[in-house]
Amino acid sequence: MREIVVLSGSAHRPLANDICGHLGVPLSPVEIRRFSNDCLYVQLQENCRQRDVYVIQPLVAPTQEHLMELLLMLDAARGASAAQVTAVIPHYAYARSDKKDASRISIAGRLVADMLTTAGADRVLTMTLHAPQVHGFFSVPVDHLTAIGELADHFRTHDLDDTVVVSPDLGNAKTATQFARLLGLPVAAGSKQRLADDRVVIDAIVGDVRGKRAIVLDDEIATGGSILELLEKLAEQDCPQVAVACTHGLFSQKAIDRLHDHPMVSEIVTTDTVPPPKDEWPLLTVRSVAPLFAEAITRIHGGESISSLFDGVDPTHGPPQPQLPFGA
């Protein structure tokens, strides 16, 4: 087996260190600095010749800065004669730009995918793409991980009597159904229409939520607009308490202000695909996905199956079970 070289940009080095800790390999150093003309300079400080190179970099704010770092690291690894270069992108920000829903706009999710492969990525490892069709934008293999098993583990310690899993929109309903199945709970979903980046309208909830506690599951929370709108609809149906769970907790300041002291919210659970908020937030719990990424990297390196890692959604959760219908 060829040696593994793991590199990281400046987007989320603690996650890269945790992944390396589970792999039992060091995080190789990278020099990143800026020329006087504001151009970035990247130099890999490890021999990459004929080795499997993994470059860990979620696309988080400042997104364009971190994307350029990633492209330069991929290009440098390819130029250093790496045997295989894998872009490990825990959060692929441009997945939200997956279709041409207005005149004269770019489908940025596809454009960034082309840029990554042009820069030197032979493979992409990511988690919970906002739009599943983005998987098809890449001309190289994509391994797509899910965190719903990790999030479900958190709620297994809770009293789940009279609880329902709620998706903010119908597009996320399949994932919410898988999550509900892991917990043995019924599922419901909102009928959502997005008016702007931070404004949505939810005009109905499909499924029985009246008088029940809810676990709201979303893939990503940025401004909190969808969650806030859903909380209002749940309050109208006498839902007394809501726990919020998501994979990518981006949490802009607007989201923190909206959710910090909301009377219905009992807790917020997310993962460390992106850096957590710097300010203390007692309601927030962050679950680590470093073991999942480390196991995926091990399997990629050894030529083993990634899909079998999620038999039954997660290796610790047994074989798949029948899906529960809405309101069951």
pLDDT tens digits for range 227-279: 998 999 999 999 999 999 999 999 988 889 889 889 999 999 999 999 999 88
Q: What percent of the chain has pLDDT over 90?
A: 72
* Residue 208 structure tokens: 């029985």
The DSSP code sequence of 236-290 is HTT---EEEEEEEE---HHHHHHHTT-TTEEEEEEEBTSPPPSS--TTEEEE--H
pLDDT level of residue 74 (50, 70, 90 thresholds) = very high
Residue type, position 85, single letter: V
Look at residue 300 and give its three-state secondary structure: helix
| Residue 9 pLDDT exceeds 60 | yes
| Residue 48 pLDDT exceeds 60 | yes
Print the domain residue range for 186: 148-285
pLDDT at residue 318 in the model: 40
pLDDT at residue 148 in the model: 95
**CB within 8 Å of 51: residues ≥ 6 apart:** 2, 3, 4, 5, 82, 83
pLDDT at residue 84 in the model: 96
Instruction: Please write the tens of the pLDDT for every residue from 86-123.
Output: 999 999 999 988 888 788 899 999 999 999 999 999 99
Phi/psi at 97 (5° precision): -100, 80
Task: Give yes or no: residues 183 and 248 share one domain.
Answer: yes
pLDDT at residue 77 in the model: 98
The Cα–Cα gap between 204 and 189 comes to 9
pLDDT at residue 196 in the model: 58
- Beta bridge mates, 190: 205
Task: Give yes or no: residues 219 and 251 share one domain.
Answer: yes
Instruction: Please write the tens of the pLDDT for every residue from 222-235.
Output: 988 889 989 999 99
The Cα–Cα gap between 173 and 223 comes to 21
What's the CA angle centered on 12, arms 6 and 18, to 5 degrees?
Answer: 55
CB 56 within 8 A of CB 16: yes
The Cα–Cα gap between 166 and 126 comes to 24
The CATH number assigned to the domain holding 248 equals 3.40.50.2020
Burial of residue 223 (number of CB atoms within 10 Å: 0-12, 13-18, 19+): buried
Task: Give yes or no: residues 8 and 141 share one domain.
Answer: yes
Instruction: Please write the tens of the pLDDT for every residue from 171-205.
Output: 888 899 999 999 999 999 987 666 555 566 677 78
Question: Does the residue 152 lie in any domain?
Answer: yes
| Residue 5 pLDDT exceeds 70 | yes
**Phi/psi-derived region of residue 312, left when phi > 0, alpha when psi is between -120 and 50, beta in every other case:** left
Mean pLDDT, the chain, integer: 90
Estimate the crossing angle of helix 13-23 against helix 290-302, to 10 degrees: 60
The Cα–Cα gap between 187 and 74 comes to 41
**Phi/psi-derived region of residue 124, left when phi > 0, alpha when psi is between -120 and 50, beta in every other case:** beta
Catalytic residues: 192
The Cα–Cα gap between 17 and 3 comes to 18
Task: Give yes or no: residues 140 and 224 share one domain.
Answer: no
| Residue 161 pLDDT exceeds 50 | yes
pLDDT at residue 102 in the model: 82
241-274 burial: b if 16+ Cβ within 10 Å, else e = ebbbbbbbbbbeeebeebbbebebbbbbbbbbbb
Task: Give yes or no: residues 158 and 182 share one domain.
Answer: yes
**Phi/psi-derived region of residue 185, left when phi > 0, alpha when psi is between -120 and 50, beta in every other case:** beta
Task: Give yes or no: residues 112 and 195 share one domain.
Answer: no
Task: Give yes or no: residues 139 and 155 share one domain.
Answer: no
| Residue 319 pLDDT exceeds 70 | no
pLDDT level of residue 317 (50, 70, 90 thresholds) = very low
Q: Supply the pTM of this predicted model.
A: 0.90
Task: Give yes or no: residues 93 and 203 share one domain.
Answer: no
Question: Does the residue 91 lie in any domain?
Answer: yes
